[in-house]
Every structure is written in C-alpha cells, then in structure tokens.
Amino acid sequence: MSNNLSNTQNKIFDLHERTAVFGESIVRFSKTIPENTITRSMIVQLINCGTSTGANYCEADDAESRKDFIHKLGISKKEARECGHWLHMIVVACPELKDEARTLFKESKEINLIINAIINSTKRHKEYTPHEIGNW
C-alpha cells in the first residue's frame, strides 16, 4: 500500500494525529486516481472531506462551549462518513483501486464511530469541559 495508514492505524490513539494521518492518506490515494471527466469532481470531494475530518476535529478541541464542541465534532463525523461515500463512488469508477479504497473506507468508518462515541459521552457527562473529553 502506498500510504502509512495500514502501518499506523492500530498504534494511533491520539485522534488529532489519527485524523491527520487519515487526511494525508486520502491525499496520497487521490493522486493515484486516474483523472477524467467522471473522477475529477469525485477527487475534489474526497480530498475536501478527507482533510476536513481532522480540521473540524481540531476546531472542536478549541470549542468555546459544550454546544460548539458537539457541533464541530458532528461536522467532523459527517465528513468522515462522506469520505466513505466518495470512496465507494471512486471504486465504481476505478475498480482497480478497490483494495486501497477499502482500507481507507474502514478507517473513515472507525473515525466516524470514535467521534460518535465522544459526542454521546459528552452528552451523557455534562460535568466535563470539552477539553477534558477531547483529551481522553
């Protein structure tokens, strides 16, 4: 595989780092997609959501309130899920990329689930501040 995702995903517990590595992997994967009239917009969409997953997670960590924290995490979660959609569409357009796309899809799903768990935990434990929860 041409990215570091498969070698690092089991070792990364810092979600800032994990989402950054995910974004980097999406960028590298996007460079392997043959560009044509069908894939051109998919590549842009995939890069946008793949890199904004981590960017929105960073914004959540600097949230000004619990509501802002949950909102920014929600955006990050949606972006991770959107990556799965675009990866699926790219595999339809370029079946030869299926194996690498599957690895990235799995990581997008795991990030989505982790962020969802943080959101749910934040909603349940109202005594914590956003920074305390974001640093678990």
The pLDDT value recorded for residue 124 is 86
Distance CA 27, CA 7 (A): 17
Backbone angles phi, psi at 133, to 5 degrees: -75, -40
Whether residue 100 is predicted with pLDDT greater than 60 in this model: the reply is yes
pLDDT in tens, 10-42: 555 799 999 999 999 999 999 999 999 999 999
**pLDDT band, residue 125 (cuts 50/70/90):** confident
3-state DSSP assignment of residue 109: helix
User: What residue type is 107 in one-letter code?
Assistant: E
Distance CA 99, CA 110 (A): 17
Assess contact for 16 and 53: CB atoms under 8 A: no
Query: Which single residue is written with the structure tokens 């990364």?
Result: 12
- Domains of the chain (ranges; CATH) run 13-134 (1.20.1440.60)
Whether residue 3 is predicted with pLDDT greater than 70 in this model: the reply is no
